[in-house]
Chains A and B, each alone.
Chain A
Amino acid sequence: AQSVTQLGSHVSVSEGALVLLRCNYSSSVPPYLFWYVQYPNQGLQLLLKYTSAATLVKGINGFEAEFKKSETSFHLTKPSAHMSDAAEYFCAVRLDTGTASKLTFGTGTRLQVTL
Protein backbone atom coordinates (compact mmCIF):
# COMPACT_ATOMS: atom_id res chain seq x y z
CA ALA A 1 0.00 0.00 0.00
CA GLN A 2 1.17 3.52 -0.66
CA SER A 3 0.80 6.64 1.49
CA VAL A 4 2.13 10.16 1.83
CA THR A 5 2.66 12.30 4.90
CA GLN A 6 2.73 16.07 4.70
CA LEU A 7 4.38 17.73 7.67
CA GLY A 8 2.76 20.99 8.62
CA SER A 9 -0.89 21.67 7.89
CA HIS A 10 -0.18 25.41 7.73
CA VAL A 11 2.94 27.19 6.54
CA SER A 12 3.34 30.95 6.54
CA VAL A 13 6.11 32.77 4.67
CA SER A 14 6.83 36.36 3.78
CA GLU A 15 6.61 37.46 0.19
CA GLY A 16 10.00 36.86 -1.41
CA ALA A 17 11.02 34.18 1.09
CA LEU A 18 11.80 30.56 0.36
CA VAL A 19 8.86 28.19 0.27
CA LEU A 20 9.43 24.64 1.56
CA LEU A 21 6.54 22.21 1.81
CA ARG A 22 7.41 18.76 3.08
CA CYS A 23 6.20 15.41 1.80
CA ASN A 24 7.36 11.93 2.74
CA TYR A 25 6.08 8.84 1.00
CA SER A 26 5.73 5.18 1.71
CA SER A 27 5.54 2.73 -1.13
CA SER A 28 6.40 -0.91 -1.64
CA VAL A 29 7.50 -0.27 -5.22
CA PRO A 30 9.06 2.76 -6.94
CA PRO A 31 6.32 5.36 -6.88
CA TYR A 32 5.10 8.11 -9.09
CA LEU A 33 4.83 11.31 -7.03
CA PHE A 34 2.85 14.46 -7.66
CA TRP A 35 2.21 17.87 -6.22
CA TYR A 36 -1.18 19.45 -6.84
CA VAL A 37 -2.32 22.95 -5.89
CA GLN A 38 -5.87 23.93 -4.98
CA TYR A 39 -6.90 27.56 -5.08
CA PRO A 40 -10.10 28.57 -3.23
CA ASN A 41 -13.24 27.15 -4.83
CA GLN A 42 -11.26 25.47 -7.56
CA GLY A 43 -10.18 21.97 -8.44
CA LEU A 44 -6.76 20.39 -8.19
CA GLN A 45 -4.15 21.64 -10.62
CA LEU A 46 -1.00 19.65 -11.29
CA LEU A 47 2.17 21.50 -10.29
CA LEU A 48 4.71 18.81 -11.12
CA LYS A 49 5.29 15.08 -11.24
CA TYR A 50 8.10 12.59 -10.65
CA THR A 51 8.03 9.50 -12.83
CA SER A 52 11.46 7.93 -12.29
CA ALA A 53 13.38 10.14 -14.70
CA ALA A 54 15.32 13.12 -13.30
CA THR A 55 15.22 13.36 -9.51
CA LEU A 56 14.91 17.16 -9.60
CA VAL A 57 11.60 18.03 -11.16
CA LYS A 58 10.63 21.50 -12.30
CA GLY A 59 6.99 22.48 -12.42
CA ILE A 60 4.81 25.43 -13.15
CA ASN A 61 4.91 28.81 -11.41
CA GLY A 62 8.58 28.42 -10.42
CA PHE A 63 8.06 25.40 -8.16
CA GLU A 64 10.36 22.40 -8.08
CA ALA A 65 10.70 19.22 -6.07
CA GLU A 66 13.49 16.75 -5.49
CA PHE A 67 12.95 13.02 -5.17
CA LYS A 68 15.24 11.59 -2.48
CA LYS A 69 14.90 7.85 -2.25
CA SER A 70 17.19 7.56 0.77
CA GLU A 71 14.94 9.93 2.70
CA THR A 72 11.67 8.83 1.06
CA SER A 73 10.95 12.48 0.51
CA PHE A 74 9.59 14.68 -2.25
CA HIS A 75 9.64 18.19 -0.79
CA LEU A 76 8.27 21.13 -2.78
CA THR A 77 10.26 24.35 -2.96
CA LYS A 78 10.12 27.76 -4.54
CA PRO A 79 12.98 30.26 -4.12
CA SER A 80 10.80 33.34 -3.75
CA ALA A 81 7.17 33.31 -2.63
CA HIS A 82 4.56 35.46 -4.31
CA MET A 83 1.20 36.50 -2.91
CA SER A 84 -0.49 34.49 -5.66
CA ASP A 85 1.08 31.29 -4.28
CA ALA A 86 -1.32 31.32 -1.34
CA ALA A 87 -3.28 28.09 -1.73
CA GLU A 88 -3.53 24.51 -0.45
CA TYR A 89 -0.88 22.11 -1.69
CA PHE A 90 -1.33 18.36 -1.85
CA CYS A 91 1.33 15.72 -2.29
CA ALA A 92 0.12 12.50 -3.90
CA VAL A 93 1.54 9.09 -4.74
CA ARG A 94 0.52 6.59 -7.35
CA LEU A 95 1.77 3.12 -8.13
CA ASP A 96 2.60 2.29 -11.71
CA THR A 97 0.28 -0.61 -12.38
CA GLY A 98 -0.18 0.18 -16.05
CA THR A 99 -3.91 0.50 -15.57
CA ALA A 100 -6.23 3.05 -14.02
CA SER A 101 -4.32 3.65 -10.81
CA LYS A 102 -5.62 5.79 -8.00
CA LEU A 103 -3.89 8.75 -6.46
CA THR A 104 -3.36 8.66 -2.71
CA PHE A 105 -3.20 12.16 -1.30
CA GLY A 106 -1.63 13.67 1.77
CA THR A 107 -3.62 15.81 4.15
CA GLY A 108 -2.53 19.02 2.48
CA THR A 109 -0.55 22.09 3.51
CA ARG A 110 -2.13 25.51 3.43
CA LEU A 111 0.42 28.10 2.36
CA GLN A 112 -0.06 31.66 3.56
CA VAL A 113 2.06 34.44 2.06
CA THR A 114 2.34 37.67 4.00
CA LEU A 115 3.69 41.09 3.02
Chain B
Amino acid sequence: EPEVTQTPSHQVTQMGQEVILRCVPISNHLYFYWYRQILGQKVEFLVSFYNNEISEKSEIFDDQFSVERPDGSNFTLKIRSTKLEDSAMYFCASSVGGPGIQHFGDGTRLSIL
Protein backbone atom coordinates (compact mmCIF):
# COMPACT_ATOMS: atom_id res chain seq x y z
CA GLU B 1 0.00 0.00 0.00
CA PRO B 2 1.35 3.45 -0.89
CA GLU B 3 2.53 5.48 2.06
CA VAL B 4 3.81 8.91 3.00
CA THR B 5 7.53 8.87 3.72
CA GLN B 6 9.42 11.41 5.81
CA THR B 7 13.12 12.02 6.15
CA PRO B 8 15.06 12.19 8.33
CA SER B 9 13.43 10.28 11.15
CA HIS B 10 15.39 12.33 13.68
CA GLN B 11 17.04 15.71 13.18
CA VAL B 12 19.21 17.41 15.77
CA THR B 13 19.95 21.08 15.12
CA GLN B 14 21.53 23.96 16.98
CA MET B 15 19.24 26.83 17.94
CA GLY B 16 19.23 29.54 15.27
CA GLN B 17 20.07 27.16 12.45
CA GLU B 18 17.85 26.49 9.48
CA VAL B 19 16.29 23.07 9.10
CA ILE B 20 14.43 21.44 6.23
CA LEU B 21 12.11 18.51 6.83
CA ARG B 22 11.28 16.42 3.82
CA CYS B 23 8.21 14.47 2.85
CA VAL B 24 7.23 12.37 -0.14
CA PRO B 25 3.43 12.28 -0.29
CA ILE B 26 1.49 9.48 -1.93
CA SER B 27 1.94 9.91 -5.65
CA ASN B 28 -1.61 10.67 -6.79
CA HIS B 29 -2.42 12.93 -3.85
CA LEU B 30 -2.94 16.62 -4.45
CA TYR B 31 -3.35 18.07 -0.96
CA PHE B 32 -0.50 18.24 1.54
CA TYR B 33 -0.31 19.07 5.20
CA TRP B 34 2.15 19.55 8.04
CA TYR B 35 1.26 18.94 11.66
CA ARG B 36 3.40 18.94 14.76
CA GLN B 37 3.24 17.26 18.13
CA ILE B 38 5.21 18.69 21.02
CA LEU B 39 6.14 15.95 23.48
CA GLY B 40 3.18 15.10 25.67
CA GLN B 41 0.81 17.41 23.82
CA LYS B 42 -1.75 16.98 21.09
CA VAL B 43 -1.17 16.98 17.36
CA GLU B 44 -1.52 20.53 15.98
CA PHE B 45 -2.18 21.69 12.45
CA LEU B 46 0.49 23.89 10.88
CA VAL B 47 -0.33 24.35 7.20
CA SER B 48 -2.15 22.92 4.21
CA PHE B 49 -0.97 23.22 0.62
CA TYR B 50 -2.70 22.75 -2.71
CA ASN B 51 -1.96 23.76 -6.28
CA ASN B 52 1.42 25.18 -5.29
CA GLU B 53 0.10 27.54 -2.69
CA ILE B 54 -0.83 27.58 0.97
CA SER B 55 -4.53 26.91 1.52
CA GLU B 56 -4.60 27.54 5.24
CA LYS B 57 -2.09 28.09 8.03
CA SER B 58 -2.30 28.20 11.78
CA GLU B 59 -1.05 30.85 14.19
CA ILE B 60 1.98 28.64 14.80
CA PHE B 61 3.03 28.94 11.15
CA ASP B 62 4.73 32.32 11.38
CA ASP B 63 7.34 33.93 9.14
CA GLN B 64 9.99 31.49 10.32
CA PHE B 65 8.18 28.67 8.57
CA SER B 66 7.80 28.03 4.86
CA VAL B 67 6.66 25.15 2.68
CA GLU B 68 7.58 24.20 -0.81
CA ARG B 69 6.92 21.56 -3.40
CA PRO B 70 10.22 21.83 -5.27
CA ASP B 71 9.48 19.03 -7.72
CA GLY B 72 6.74 16.57 -8.51
CA SER B 73 7.36 14.34 -5.54
CA ASN B 74 8.75 16.20 -2.53
CA PHE B 75 7.01 18.49 -0.04
CA THR B 76 9.25 20.33 2.39
CA LEU B 77 8.88 22.31 5.59
CA LYS B 78 11.61 24.83 6.31
CA ILE B 79 12.20 26.51 9.63
CA ARG B 80 14.49 29.45 9.02
CA SER B 81 15.91 30.13 12.47
CA THR B 82 15.04 27.39 14.90
CA LYS B 83 14.06 28.02 18.51
CA LEU B 84 14.08 25.64 21.45
CA GLU B 85 10.29 25.54 21.36
CA ASP B 86 10.37 24.16 17.82
CA SER B 87 11.44 20.81 19.27
CA ALA B 88 8.62 18.45 18.36
CA MET B 89 7.57 15.59 16.13
CA TYR B 90 6.57 16.90 12.72
CA PHE B 91 4.11 14.90 10.66
CA CYS B 92 3.46 15.24 6.97
CA ALA B 93 0.11 14.12 5.55
CA SER B 94 -1.47 13.98 2.14
CA SER B 95 -4.91 13.38 0.67
CA VAL B 96 -6.36 12.77 -2.77
CA GLY B 97 -8.89 15.54 -2.42
CA GLY B 98 -9.49 18.30 0.09
CA PRO B 99 -12.16 16.36 1.93
CA GLY B 100 -10.27 13.09 1.49
CA ILE B 101 -8.71 10.90 4.15
CA GLN B 102 -5.39 12.29 5.28
CA HIS B 103 -2.60 9.72 5.29
CA PHE B 104 0.25 10.42 7.69
CA GLY B 105 3.96 9.69 7.57
CA ASP B 106 5.89 8.33 10.54
CA GLY B 107 7.15 11.80 11.43
CA THR B 108 10.46 13.56 11.93
CA ARG B 109 11.56 14.14 15.49
CA LEU B 110 13.21 17.56 15.58
CA SER B 111 15.45 18.29 18.55
CA ILE B 112 16.76 21.83 18.99
CA LEU B 113 19.80 22.21 21.23
The verdict on A100 contacting B33 (CB below 8 Å), with A43-B91, A43-B107, A90-B42 known, is yes
Taking Cβ atoms with an 8 Å cutoff, the residues of B that contact A are 4, 6, 31, 33, 35, 41-45, 48-50, 55-56, 58, 91, 93, 95, 98-99, 101-107
Q: State whether B98 touches A41 (Cβ < 8 A).
A: no
Stretch at the interface among A61-69, A72-80, A104-112: A104-112
B99, A105: Cβ atoms closer than 8 Å: no
Residue pair A97, B101 in contact (C-beta under 8 Å): no
Interface positions, chain A 41-75, Cβ under 8 Å from B, are 41-46, 49
Task: Provide the bound-state CA to CA distance between A102 and B43, in Å.
Answer: 11
The reply to whether B106 and A43 form a contact with Cβ atoms under 8 Å apart is yes
- When distances are taken between beta carbons in the complex, the residues of chain A under 8 Å from B4 are 43
Whether A107 pairs with B45 at a CB distance below 8 angstroms is no
Contact of B106 with A42 in the complex, beta carbons under 8 Å: yes
- Least CB distance from B68 to A in Å reads 16
Complex-state Cα separation, A112 to B106, whole angstroms: 21
Closest to A42 in B: B106
CB pair B55 A49 closer than 8 Å: no
Residues in A with CB closer than 8 Å to B55 are 99-100
B98→A99 contact, CB < 8 A:
yes
Cβ A105 vs Cβ B106 within 8 A: no
In the complex, A97 Cα to B55 Cα: how many Å? 12
Q: A41-B106, A43-B91, A43-B106 are in contact. Are A104 and B45 (CB under 8 A)?
A: yes
Q: With a CB–CB cut-off of 8 A, which chain A residues contact B106?
A: 41-43
User: Are A105's CB and B42's CB within 8 A?
Assistant: yes
